[in-house]
Structures are given as structure tokens and as C-alpha cells.
């Protein structure tokens, strides 16, 4: 008898080594592979299918709010990048340069885009002439390159996929509204599609995007108490417009500068999904972005009628859900482990006794609960079960966020929490970036994450220097 394919390999426990656990999940769930270029990843079909579902969901949200997709070049001339001083200084350490075309040295270096503000501005300068041309609501799906020193699949890589929205508006008020609207679209997407709660708010002056007047962020909490910048939205004012000489004739016939925004999320969101929802058996995928929503496992498939019924069900369910029928000759136990590791939200088990009773068993990935359902109303039961899985995942993640959010009212409390309790620390701040630097140095990397929209008054003094406080800030370590 041929030796059966070995059971799914063990995954390192997240309590034992969270970093190794993450790498195990990424590799063994076949999300990525390493490439010969340092820091660049091969996104395998299962990983890319997750990204496609994320892209589809977000793209529909963008289009519903009037945004159009465009595509800008991969290369940016050095002279173009240099036009906005703060912007180029912010990205200089991470820029990759093209210096030769074939064997000939280029007359001007070309930057491989780390982001596309300058390209959009060059284009907008050509097509915006009147207030009637505004707003311009553009988005692009592309890859960008940032030469990161330390890389990890999805979280930080030299090249990654993302979307970047770039919009131009007639007034500052319209642009500011757009900046916040897109931030809340991200927050809704995280909650409604990814089952991930997050803190949202404004970045401090020190942490804002290079060239922005205001940067807003969405900050989910990972299972191990480390934060992740899940998406950002930036208000640029008219700074870029002035640098690139973008003007339009206003309603009063005067020449004016438009006001600009940009906003984006990247494949880093897949890292967030893994680290918020995953467990020691592998991925736990939110139903709305899972490449397979229902894995059908025939039990005792060698017995008459089992495979036929399973195939019939697969064909029927595929009209509504993303379904995978595993009719391979691997054991049922191997299949259970395989689809658990891949994070499939529901496993449908069907054996001879189930067929006799006109039923099947649905097993939830998030908590392994079994649900016996009639085949007559299977579609309705699956819809309900997928929603229950989503809600259960959200509540579990919310509980983790709450349990790992602490309050510090003194410098000593802050240092103790930073050393002994991974998570968010809520603490008052005077507004001086020197205090941010000091706290980061003292704690080995705890940084300001954001100033939340709804601030609590925890004390009258800064947790670092003791001077009068201006804001309550969420602090934490980040990926």
C-alpha cells in the first residue's frame, strides 16, 4: 500500500515564539515563498486570492464614492521627486534608483516609485485648469518599492502591492472631508470585511507622512500586543500644488491652488489578518475574503453514493459560495488539518449516515463548533453560519484589543507597562516631539500610534516631562 501523504506539519506555538509562528503560518499555508531578491516575496495563488478578495471589496467601496482607477508609471525622474523637499527627504533612505538603461548610463537617475504623489501632481498640472475640473478622485492599484533594512513577508518587504488614492479638491474643507471619509472607509472595511477592530485617529507631527499637513491612521492590535499601521489617509493642503505649479481658475476668476489628499492600504493587511485571527493550527480567515469559504470533506468516500452526493452539493453551493470539494485519497484527518491550517471558515462533512438523514455537519474554523443542518435549506444555514463566524472573530479580536489596552498616569507607570504588558498604552502628552523620542528610547521602541478622535482626560500633565498635557495618545510598539 502506498504511503499516504504525511499529515500537515506542526506549526510553532505562538506562545513559544510568535515570530516563528508567523513565518510557519505564511509558509505552510502556502501564502508566499522567498525569492532570490532580498526582501521580495513570491505571493503564491492562495495568498494572492486573499489579496484579490481584499482588492475587490475595497475597489467597490472606492467606486461607490466616485473614485476612478488610473495607472501611473513605475519610474520617477529624480528632478520630479526633488520638487517637494519634505517628501523627498522622508523617502530618501528607502529609494531604489535605476542608473542604467541597457549598457548606457542614464542622463538622469530614475526612482522606482516608493509612492506616487509626484507623478500624480505632474499629471494634474496638465489636466486641471478650472474649478469645473475638480474634484479629481483617482486611485491606482500597483506595486511600490521601499528598500527596507529588515523585511518580513507582508509586514515589511522591499516590494509590496497596495492601492494609493490621490485626489484634488477646490477647497481645503472638501479635501479635509475626503481625508476623513477615506479613513472611515478603511475602518468600516476592517470591521465589516476583516472582522478587525482598530483605534483610529491623527498621527503626531513627528509621525505624519512626509509632506502632509495631517496624517490619519487606523491601528489594529495584533494577538501579541504589537500594533500595526493598517492604513493611512493624508491631507496635503496646497503644498504639493504650489511645488508643482498646479493652478485653476476659481469661481471668481482668480488663480487658485487645489487642495490634495492621498490614502492607501497594502498587502500588509494580510499580515494583520494572520496576526489578529490566527491560532496554533494556522490561519483563521474572515469569511468575506477567504478564497475558500466552505471546504467539503466526504467521509468514508469509498462507500457507494458518498462522492456523488458530495459533488452534487459542491455544484449546488458553488453558485453562492467559494467552495472546494476535496475528493483526494488523503485521509479525512489530513484534510481536516489542511483546511484548518488554510483558515477555511466552514468545513462541511458528509458521510453515509448524514446522507441517510438528509443532513451534513458544518464545523466552524474559529471555535470548532459543529452544526448539524438539513440539506434542504443548506444555503440559508451556511449564510447564517458565515456571519456567526465573522461576528465571533470580531468579538474575540475586540476582547484582545480591550485586554491589551492600558492606562499610564505617571512616567513610572508608563515604563512598567512598556516593559511588562505588551499592548496599547493610553497616556497624556505635552505635544513636544522630544518627549516622544525620550519615551521611545527608554522603552526600546514604544512610539506614539495616534491621537484618537475621542480623547480621554487621564491627567493634567505629560506622562514624560510633567508639563501641562495637550493630548491623550495611544502608544505602542509596531511592526
Q: Give me the sheet containing 259-266, strands edge to edge.
A: 68-69, 136-145, 159-169, 259-266, 231-237, 214-220, 198-202, 447-452, 471-476, 424-429, 405-407
Q: How far apart are CA 395 and CA 275, in angstroms?
A: 15
- Residues 272 and 196 sit within 8 Å (Cβ to Cβ): yes
- Kindly give the residue spans of alpha helices, DSSP state H, lying in 255-341: 268-277, 306-317, 332-341
Higher-pLDDT residue of 276 and 211 is 276
pLDDT digits (tens, 9 = 90+) for 130-189: 999 999 999 999 999 998 888 899 999 999 999 999 999 999 999 999 999 999 999 999
* pLDDT reading at 84 higher than 80: no
Report percent pLDDT > 70 for the chain: 97
Q: Are 33 and 26 in contact (CB under 8 A)?
A: no
> Residue 259 — very low, low, confident or very high, per pLDDT cuts 50/70/90?
very high
Q: How confident is the model at residue 8 (pLDDT cuts 50, 70, 90)?
A: low
Cβ proximity of 169 and 178 under 8 Å:
yes
pLDDT level of residue 93 (50, 70, 90 thresholds): confident
pLDDT band at 9 (very low <50, low <70, confident <90, very high): low
Among 155, 147, 119, 132, which residue's Cα sits nearest to residue 22?
155
Residue range 399-412: mean pLDDT, rounded: 98
| pLDDT for residue 345 is more than 90 | yes
Reported as a pLDDT band with limits 50, 70 and 90, residue 317 is very high
Tell me, what's the pLDDT at 210?
Answer: 85
Task: Report pTM.
Answer: 0.95
The conformation of residue 84, written as its DSSP 8-state character, comes to S
pLDDT for the residue numbered 35: 92
pLDDT in tens, 413-462: 999 999 999 999 999 999 999 999 999 999 999 999 999 999 999 999 99
- The domains located in the chain, with CATH, are 18-277 (3.30.930.10), 294-387 (3.40.50.800), 405-476 (3.30.110.30)
Amino acid at each position: 500500500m502506498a504511503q499516504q501523504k504525511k499529515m500537515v506539519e506542526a506549526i510553532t506555538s505562538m506562545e513559544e515564539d510568535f515570530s516563528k509562528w508567523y513565518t510557519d503560518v505564511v509558509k505552510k499555508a502556502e501564502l508566499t515563498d522567498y525569492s532570490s531578491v532580498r526582501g521580495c516575496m513570491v505571493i503564491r495563488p492562495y495568498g494572492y486570492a486573499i489579496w484579490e478578495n481584499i482588492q475587490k471589496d475595497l475597489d467597490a467601496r472606492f467606486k461607490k464614492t466616485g473614485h476612478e482607477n488610473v495607472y501611473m508609471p513605475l519610474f520617477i525622474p529624480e528632478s520630479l521627486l526633488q520638487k517637494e523637499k519634505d517628501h523627498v527627504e522622508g523617502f530618501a533612505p528607502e529609494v531604489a534608483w535605476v542608473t542604467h538603461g541597457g549598457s548606457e548610463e542614464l542622463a538622469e537617475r530614475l526612482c522606482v516609485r516608493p509612492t506616487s504623489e509626484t507623478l500624480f501632481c505632474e499629471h494634474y498640472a496638465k489636466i486641471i485648469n478650472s474649478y469645473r475640473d475638480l474634484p479629481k478622485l483617482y486611485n491606482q492599484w500597483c506595486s511600490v518599492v521601499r528598500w527596507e533594512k529588515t523585511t518580513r513577508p507582508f509586514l515589511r518587504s522591499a516590494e509590496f502591492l497596495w492601492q494609493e488614492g490621490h485626489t484634488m479638491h477646490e477647497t481645503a474643507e472638501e479635501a479635509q472631508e475626503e481625508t476623513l471619509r477615506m479613513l472611515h472607509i478603511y475602518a468600516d472595511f476592517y470591521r465589516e470585511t476583516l472582522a478587525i477592530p482598530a483605534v483610529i485617529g491623527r498621527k503626531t507631527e513627528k509621525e505624519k507622512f512626509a509632506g502632509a499637513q495631517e496624517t490619519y491612521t487606523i491601528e489594529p492590535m495584533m494577538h501579541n500586543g504589537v500594533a500595526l499601521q493598517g492604513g493611512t489617509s493624508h491631507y496635503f493642503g496646497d503644498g504639493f500644488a504650489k511645488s508643482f505649479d498646479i493652478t485653476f481658475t476659481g469661481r471668481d476668476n482668480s488663480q487658485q491652488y487645489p487642495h490634495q489628499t492621498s490614502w492607501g492600504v497594502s498587502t500588509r493587511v494580510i499580515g494583520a489578518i494572520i496576526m489578529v485571527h490566527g491560532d496554533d493550527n494556522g490561519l483563521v480567515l474572515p469569511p468575506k475574503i477567504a478564497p475558500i469559504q466552505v471546504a467539503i470533506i466526504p467521509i468514508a468516500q469509498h462507500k457507494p453514493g458518498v462522492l456523488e452526493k458530495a459533488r452534487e452539493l459542491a455544484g449546488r453551493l458553488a453558485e453562492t459560495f467559494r467552495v472546494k470539494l476535496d475528493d483526494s485519497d488523503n485521509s479525512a484527518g489530513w484534510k481536516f488539518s489542511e483546511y484548518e491550517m488554510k483558515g477555511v471558515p466552514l468545513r462541511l462533512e458528509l458521510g453515509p449516515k448524514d446522507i441517510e438523514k438528509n443532513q451534513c455537519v458544518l464545523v466552524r474554523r474559529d471555535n470548532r463548533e459543529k452544526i448539524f443542518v438539513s440539506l434542504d435549506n443548506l444555503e440559508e444555514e451556511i449564510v447564517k453560519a458565515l456571519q456567526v463566524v465573522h461576528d465571533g472573530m470580531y468579538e474575540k479580536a475586540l476582547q484582545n484589543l480591550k485586554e491589551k489596552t492600558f492606562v499610564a498616569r505617571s512616567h513610572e507607570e508608563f515604563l512598567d507597562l512598556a516593559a511588562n504588558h505588551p499592548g496599547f498604552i493610553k497616556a497624556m502628552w505635552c505635544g513636544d516631539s522630544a518627549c516622544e523620542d525620550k519615551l521611545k528610547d527608554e522603552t526600546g521602541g514604544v512610539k506614539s500610534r495616534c491621537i484618537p478622535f475621542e480623547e480621554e482626560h487621564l491627567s493634567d500633565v505629560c506622562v514624560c516631562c510633567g508639563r501641562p498635557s495637550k493630548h491623550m495618545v495611544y502608544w505602542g510598539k509596531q511592526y
